[in-house]
Structure 1
């Protein structure tokens, strides 16, 4: 299966000398196209750093990263900005909506900033999928947390990105609203054929994915296919401060 994004021998270090921290320590991984991948691990394991570097939001200290066939390290700042705008979507825990804009304006904001006319058929289908047709003229402050995150998911998908990167997208939501958002991300893969990479600490959220990657101490230590919440929880319990043995489930 082709890779929507990948990193090879990825190293990321912060600081220098005695304060230097190696957040990624030689990670090589592929995120499959039109699949849902979850990334898990203890706090400080490097999972958010991996996502940020794979998405071109941060640069690697060593190794290489690709989006499709495009190597990110070969791009300048302007080229990276255009790539992120045109080929990637982002969903964050904090929603990051503009409070003075309506729902529809928030959804189309990345396209408007890029001077790109929206595909109205795609946009209408997207609004229908996220169930916000009766909220398009509302502002974020008039919506529940779950509705705001659904707007954020729609915004991430509005430009038909190759990959959507989601960093703890349900972290601020109750279980019902979180389930709605995860169902939307799952639908983006199954019906819209997008690729989704999600960082999460929640085994129930990870169970929506096709594949779960487990990081510890900046290294990839395990991979699980067709996860369930119970299997993911059992695997997470193994992280007791010692590096877990490598291997696949």
Structure 2
């Protein structure tokens, strides 16, 4: 089953009949089995599924962090599979933002310096208006001169979110971004991600196992056994949990 799509909306990323196989012979494992997903620009999409369902593999393939065995992946109108290492490096630097469980902030740099690091590496200067808007959205204007050790976990993750936003990427991929945070800090970060979509027009794709986290998204796409098995728009935590229970039941029966 493919995720339901809207054909008249610009797309930030998409997968077309994507297969991903690891290993060979008896050790072969199919992580993705003919996946078709379209991710709309200016939308917050959560990807959920049991462990080993393929959700993180799909994200890694879309972001050019892993290769596909068959099919095509695109970021905007750029075909990712088949790119050279140099082209992939440029794509990830200029068109994609990343947020991970680990904040990956440099301890010797201030919050502001960490936010600006990707642009500094690329030899680019930020748009002053955009930087001001990102800093306003992240809500840490009073903490920009602080180093990571002087910030709470939630604040550090919001710095990481701002760092992903500052280069105005085509899409931001977030892999369990609240996985290392307590519930209060996690809520802070999820509200920030939602606000960055609504206020800044950002596109975010988040892999999560948490129904509450998924409820902050505009749309949830569900994976099981390497396939897309359903989706929900305007999700609630209860609706997401119910869908996950159904998927789990089907997997156990199978």
> TM-score, length-normalised on structure 1?
0.95
Superposed counterparts of 1:31-42, under 5 Å: 31-42=39-50
State the match for 1:83 in structure 2.
91
Most deviating of 15-24 and 232-241? 232-241
Q: 1:21-73 deviations in whole A, cap 9, x for unaligned? A: 11111100000111110000001101110111011111101110001111112
Which runs of no fewer than 5 residues in structure 1 stay unpaired? 245-249
State the match for 1:155 in structure 2.
163
For the pair 1:145 / 2:149, whether they are aligned, the reply is no
State the match for 1:232 in structure 2.
240
> TM-score, length-normalised on structure 2?
0.94
Q: Distance in 1 between matches of 2:22 and 2:108?
A: 36
Q: Distance in 2 between matches of 1:32 and 1:240?
A: 27
Q: CA deviation at 1:139?
A: 0.9
For the pair 1:173 / 2:181, whether they are aligned, the reply is yes
Q: Distance in 2 between matches of 1:72 and 1:241?
A: 35
Q: CA deviation at 1:239?
A: 2.7
Q: Distance in 2 between matches of 1:126 and 1:68?
A: 22
2:17–2:35 CA contact under 8 A, matched in 1: yes
Q: Which of 54, 67, 70 pairs up with 2:75?
A: 67
Superposed counterparts of 1:121-140, under 5 Å: 121-140=129-148
2:137–2:196 CA contact under 8 A, matched in 1: no
SS, match of residue 165 in structure 1:
strand
For the pair 1:44 / 2:57, whether they are aligned, the reply is no
Q: Distance in 2 between matches of 1:22 and 1:178?
A: 32
Q: Distance in 2 between matches of 1:20 and 1:98?
A: 38
Runs of 4+ in 1 over 2 A off after TM superposition: 239-244
Q: CA deviation at 1:240?
A: 2.7
**What is the number of equivalent residue pairs in this alignment?**
245
State the match for 1:247 in structure 2.
none
State the match for 1:197 in structure 2.
205
